[in-house]
A and B are shown apart, each in its own frame.
Chain A
Amino acid sequence: MTAAIATYDLTKTYGQARGIRDINLTVERGEIFGFLGPNGAGKSTTLRTVLGFMKPSSGRAEVLGFDSWTEKTRMHAHIGNLPGEFSLEDRMTGRELIRFFARLRGVRDLAFAEELATRLDANLDRPMRRLSRGNKQKIGIIQALFHQPEVVILDEPTGGLDPLVQEEFLKLLAEARERGQTVFFSSHVLAEIERLADRVGIIREGELIAVEDPTRLTQQAFRHVRIAFARLLTLEEQGSFAQLPGVEQFRAEDGQIMFDDHGSFDELVKLAAQFPVASLDVERPTLEEIFLTYYGAPASGGAAKEVA
């Protein structure tokens, strides 16, 4: 079975420095794939090239085996698309827009569109120009999902939605996965990717730097460690912790030591055991911190990967 989405050395350069380089990405059918990166990293460029709105400078992209440039119209019959920035025709109401798109797609049954509207609390009878950004976003989501496409591509889908609607939207995506639909969505809201995505691709300065299982990503990465001792440690004793391999960001205050541990847990526990430990906190970093580690300077050890 062909993959839902596959890119082969996909490269798109335009303007000055912007663009994407040699993106190789496979999204399997039935998975939710999160695409993570800061603004300007190339998320939208990747999505819009995959969707056939832009022609690859080199390499190519396929959705369900359809070439995204030469077979884009046919490909679009199987895709629901929510662009990152869009406007809908001012005088049209949501219902008119959905009806128009339903005709283009040969969809007759609008029951699911109505269900989506109810669940997202969207107003289908108001002209677009009188809708707030959040309410327009709801119409955008409905037009992407109402025909239950095999592949859903969403660029920053939760922007402008209030928390309750966001919650409902994430449920809708989980239900889409249960039905066997594939979801490819970009986001900078890391919590929603961590919660929902089966895999996460991290893009930085136009290059895909990692594809991970989001939970494994959090497991593999460093830990925030805080140890409180029953007595004040001498500077020399504190220093023995700071000198452990993989310990960074070392701070000591009020009888506590705090640092990030990048992997030397065995040595850490054995060293700590020599002192009267009052409390020990080990915290996983958030995906955001992991992302910053990927994105930030390569100084923080193994977690950051230098890109040539």
Chain B
Amino acid sequence: MSARAQAGRLAATQTRAAEPRGTFLISTRQALRGLTRSGLFWGVGLAIYAVMLVAIFPSLKGAVDVSTYPQGLRDALGITDMSHIRPFLQVEFISYLPLVLAFYPMTVLAGTIAGAEERRWLDVLLGNPVSRRTVVLGAMAALAVVLFAILVGDAVVMWIFARLLDIDLSLSASLQGMLANWPIGLAFGAVALAVSATVRSRAAALGIAAAVMFGFYLLNLLATLVSGVAWLKWLSAFHYYGSPMTEGLFWGGAVVLLIAAGVLTAVAVAAFERRDIYT
């Protein structure tokens, strides 16, 4: 009886000490290396687009008369006055930026489990003393770092370019508009991760995550446009994203999105740890 209890304790100790110390950092660093190229690609692409929008702002300023737009639509788009750079960027860029940028975390994280499995890389990687949990958390951590770096870098580029053109855009506004994409990007990435931990197909994980994202976007639009269903907005991730360029970062919403990302990541780890790795 006591020998059995002892054996049980021994097993527990062994499980706790399963990985050599530093495995999480090694795993994260390796994932970071894998993201350098794609991170640069997304960062530069996004910077070019942001700079182009800032560059055309002076010539468009005042050309769009939003006062003719119905009030509901103006609310939905978060438009107040298009003669200032912040509402202009909010409408033309930041309001739908997650719909584009979230594809980065979604493609990366759909590849972490299902993609690596399809490529038959997991059998090699997981033959090392590294747990499935560490592989997933390391990938998530690396992606969070790279996404943050992209957003900060592009916010600074956008701000500098506005200054050069003598456009009144503060660094704080630029940072808040961009960084609001961090929690929502991680949340949609975590959707792809959680799906890829169950469906075993990278394409399916990406497709389902994208469908969820566009569904949320439409839901939020519907809640704003149709009177009587305004409560629906609470169900949409985009409500928690807010209008960061005009109203500043919605901190409470960011926390909700980060919690969602955390829960979905935990679900992904739990599902992945319980299932077979297929070839």
Q: Could you say which residues of chain B place their CB within 8 Å of the CB of A54?
A: 276-277
Q: Which of A57-112 contact B (CB under 8 A)?
A: 66, 70-71, 73-74, 76-77, 79-81, 83-89, 91, 100-101, 103-106
A176 within 8 A of B: no
B17→A86 contact, CB < 8 A: no
Contact indicator B20/A104 (Cβ below 8 Å): yes
Q: Does A181 contact B (CB under 8 A)?
A: no
Interface centre among B17, B131, B276 (most CB of A within 10 A): B276
1/0 contact trace for A100-135 toward B, CB 8 Å?
Answer: 110111100000000000000000000000000000
Using a Cβ–Cβ cut-off of 8 Å, how many residues does chain A contribute to the interface with B? 34
| Of the residues B11, B26, B124, B131, contact of A143 by C-beta under 8 Å | B124
A53 at the binding interface (Cβ < 8 Å): yes
**Quick one: which of B11, B19, B121 contacts A87, CB cutoff 8 A?**
B121
Interface string of B18-57 (1 = CB under 8 A from A): 1110010011001000100100000000000000000000
Q: Complex: how many Å from CA A106 to CA B19?
A: 10
Contact of A104 (CB < 8 Å), options: B11, B23, B37:
B23
Contact (Cβ within 8 A) A74 B34:
no
**CB-based nearest A residue for B23:** A104
A186 interfacial by beta-carbon distance below 8 Å: no
Q: Is B160 interfacial (CB-CB < 8 Å)?
A: no
Find B276's partner among A14, A87, A106 (CB 8 Å cutoff). A14
Contact present for A100 and B30 (CB under 8 Å): yes
Q: Shortest beta-carbon distance, A282 to chain B, in Å?
A: 44
A residues near B120, Cβ cutoff 8 Å: 83, 85-87
Q: Is B15 an interface position by the 8 A CB rule? A: yes
Distance in angstroms from B37 CB to nearest chain A CB is: 8
State the CA gap A79–B129 with chains docked (Å): 9
Knowing A71-B15, A103-B26, A106-B20, the reply to whether A53 touches B276 (Cβ < 8 A) is yes
A55 at the interface (CB under 8 A from B): yes
Determine the distance from Cα of A121 to Cα of B276 in the docked complex, in whole angstroms: 35
A42: Cβ under 8 A from any B Cβ: no
Is A71 a contact of B18 with CB atoms below 8 Å?
yes
B19: A residues at CB distance < 8 A: 73
The contact of B17 among A74, A105, A106, by CB within 8 Å, is: A74
| B123 in contact (CB, < 8 A) | yes
B14-A48 in contact (CB<8A): no
When distances are taken between beta carbons in the complex, the residues of chain B under 8 Å from A66 are 14
Q: Chain A residues near B126 (CB, 8 Å)?
A: 53, 76
Chain A residues contacting B131 (CB-CB under 8 Å) are 73
Residues of B within 8 A of A34 (CB): none
**List of A residues within 8 angstroms of B68 by Cβ:** none
Question: In the assembly, what is the distance between CA of A87 and CA of B279, in Å?
Answer: 11
Q: What residues of chain B lie closer than 8 Å to A76, measured between beta carbons? A: 126-130
Which chain A residues lie closer than 8 Å to B30 at the CB level? 100
Write out the residue numbers on chain B whose beta carbons fall within 8 Å of the beta carbon of A53. Answer: 122-123, 126, 276-277
**One of A88, A105, A140 near B128 (C-beta < 8 A):** A105
Task: Decide yes or no: A48 and B124 within 8 Å by CB, A66-B14, A71-B18 being known contacts.
Answer: no
| Chain B: minimal CB distance from A122 (Å) | 15
User: Taking the complex as formed, is B119 at the interface, i.e. its CB lies under 8 A from any CB of chain A?
Assistant: yes
Bound complex: CA of A85 vs CA of B119, how far in Å? 10
Q: List the interface of chain A (C-beta within 8 A of B).
A: 14, 44, 48, 51, 53-55, 66, 70-71, 73-74, 76-77, 79-81, 83-89, 91, 100-101, 103-106, 140, 143-144
24 A–B contact pairs at CB < 8 A? A48-B277, A51-B123, A55-B275, A55-B276, A70-B11, A71-B11, A73-B131, A74-B129, A76-B127, A76-B128, A79-B127, A83-B120, A83-B124, A83-B279, A86-B124, A87-B119, A91-B34, A104-B26, A104-B128, A104-B129, A105-B20, A105-B128, A105-B129, A106-B20
The 10 tightest CB contacts between A and B, nearest first, are: A81-B127, A83-B123, A73-B18, A77-B129, A54-B276, A104-B128, A53-B277, A74-B18, A73-B131, A76-B129
